[in-house]
């Protein structure tokens, strides 16, 4: 008979001696003992909500890691956001930039680390510029809006390796103790072979800002990037990517194909769906139900649950299995805030001369979401190979527009509001 056991911090204290054998299990919280605190200058591209949060996160990470952090230079599409960040962190005007080409100016500054937190459509272009400039990078998720962009991120990951540069992504669940413990347990057979499960991000709608008088299309799209597939990838890519990343991580591979449906019933702006429901076929008789929704007044749920041949597991919660007691699981010491821990890990990797590189894993999570989106937009089965290896597939070279070059050239034409994909025939 299986027993239910919740993995708690207390249980893992007994395994602290084992933690030293697992590099990721026990990140050092204070590196001052290794010498004088090192100072890192940070450049930030994107000073909106997530960029502002990331600046605070890396400053807090510096305190935990015994590293001095200076927010040295900032850039944003909008002058008021760039200037607001500059005022907060005492950055002079000559290191404060705005406009669609402003990221070039930040890359030219004497900074060691770049934070990329603009809308996802810009991520591949900005990451390439940062790596070419020799900077370690923190990139927010998702990292692309189309297959071509995601594949570029994978290629840039290889470039970073050749240059000895870091790429740490904003998939914070991979840096949180609960997820780390459960993934370790699952990898070591706690629930046997995963055969199914559900991953979900069902919540309310995000913001929308009406067009201002005489506002051009570029500004309108950047201010409303969470409403347009061309800017965010749709919410399955921008938001649900977290849960899909956990599925890939726990199962240990990417899905082979996706079949799904979705639609739009409440949204009145942009061109995205309200909801998605997808069957992800991971092969070897493993199917995961992916679902996400952005509609107010409905049941909300964010999380992951996996069913195996020997039990079941929540992403960071309870494991139901009789095999759990026989697995020695190390203690994973992490900051209480995963969005701080990911920056601690970034700093530690740089200081240790062992830069982290999460480009492929975050690109594959992004591709998983893109595959699901295309399946729902078209009503067709979409295969992983359609996005990664089959150059004859109509989806392989799918590239959304406007793209970053359009923004820099001033040639942006916004998609129409309230026009969206409707698959099939009446």
Per-residue pLDDT tens over the stretch 254-293: 999 999 999 999 998 999 999 999 999 999 999 999 999 9
Q: Which pLDDT value is given to residue 37?
A: 61
Q: What is the pLDDT of residues 72-115, one digit of tens each?
A: 999 999 999 999 999 999 999 999 999 999 999 999 999 999 99
DSSP secondary structure code for residue 278 in this structure: E
d(CA 28, CA 1): 40
Burial call 168-184: b when 16+ CB within 10 Å, e when fewer = bbbbbbbbbbbbbbbbb
What are the extents of the domains in the chain?
30-173+350-358, 191-320+362-409
pLDDT(1) > 80: no
The answer as to CATH 3.30.360.10 being correct for domain 191-320+362-409 is yes
Return the beta strands (E) in 248-375 as ranges. 257-263, 275-283, 286-294, 301-308, 311-314, 318-321
pLDDT(299) > 60: yes
**What is the pLDDT averaged over residues 193-207?**
96
CATH pick for 30-173+350-358 out of 3.30.2290.10, 3.40.50.720, 1.20.1250.20, 3.10.50.40: 3.40.50.720
Q: Which residue has the tokens 């909801």?
A: 275
pLDDT(227) > 60: yes
What counts of helices (H) and strands (E) characterise the chain?
Answer: 16, 15
Sequence-separated (6 or more) residues with CB below 8 Å from residue 35: none
What's the mean pLDDT when you consider all of the chain? 92
pLDDT(294) > 60: yes
Q: Which pLDDT value is given to residue 268?
A: 86
């Amino acid at each position: 008979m299986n027993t239910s056991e919740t993995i708690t911090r207390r249980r893992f204290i007994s395994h602290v001696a084992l933690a030293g054998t697992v590099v990721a299990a026990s990140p050092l919280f204070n590196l001052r003992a290794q010498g004088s605190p090192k100072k890192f200058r940070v450049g930030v591209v994107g000073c909106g909500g997530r960029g502002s949060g990331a600046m605070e996160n890396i400053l807090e990470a510096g305190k935990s890691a015994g590293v001095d952090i200076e927010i040295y230079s900032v850039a944003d599409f909008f002058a008021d956001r760039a200037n607001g960040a500059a005022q907060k962190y005492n950055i002079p005007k000559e290191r404060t930039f705005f406009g669609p080409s402003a990221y070039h100016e930040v890359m030219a500054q004497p900074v060691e680390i770049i934070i990329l937190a603009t809308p996802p459509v810009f991520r591949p272009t900005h990451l390439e510029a940062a790596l070419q400039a020799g900077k370690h990078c923190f990139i927010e998720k998702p990292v692309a809006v189309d297959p071509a962009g995601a594949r570029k991120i994978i290629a840039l990951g290889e470039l970073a390796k050749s240059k000895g540069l870091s790429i740490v992504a904003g998939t914070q669940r991979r840096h949180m103790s609960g997820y780390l413990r459960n993934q370790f347990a699952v990898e070591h057979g706690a629930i046997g072979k995963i055969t199914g499960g559900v991953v979900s991000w069902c919540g309310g709608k995000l913001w929308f800002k009406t067009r201002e008088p005489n506002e051009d299309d570029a500004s309108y799209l950047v201010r409303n990037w969470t409403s347009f597939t061309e800017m965010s990838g749709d919410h399955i890519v921008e938001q649900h990517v977290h849960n899909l990343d956990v599925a890939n991580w726990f199962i240990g591979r990417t899905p082979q194909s996706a079949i799904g449906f979705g639609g739009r019933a409440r949204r009145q702006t942009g061109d995205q769906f309200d909801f998605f429901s997808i069957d992800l076929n991971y092969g070897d008789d493993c199917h995961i139900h992916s679902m996400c929704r952005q509609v107010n007044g409905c049941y909300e749920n964010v999380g992951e649950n996996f069913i195996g041949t020997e039990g079941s597991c929540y992403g960071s919660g309870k494991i139901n299995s009789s095999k759990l007691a026989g697995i020695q699981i190390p203690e994973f010491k992490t900051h209480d805030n995963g969005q701080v821990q990911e920056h601690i890990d970034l700093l530690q990797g740089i200081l240790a001369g062992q830069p982290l590189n999460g480009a492929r894993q975050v690109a594959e999570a992004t591709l998983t979401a893109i595959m699901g989106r295309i399946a729902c937009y078209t009503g067709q089965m979409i295969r992983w190979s359609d996005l990664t290896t089959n150059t004859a597939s109509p989806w392989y070279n799918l590239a959304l527009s406007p793209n970053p070059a359009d923004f820099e050239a001033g040639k942006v034409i916004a998609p129409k509001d309230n026009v969206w994909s409707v698959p099939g025939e009446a």
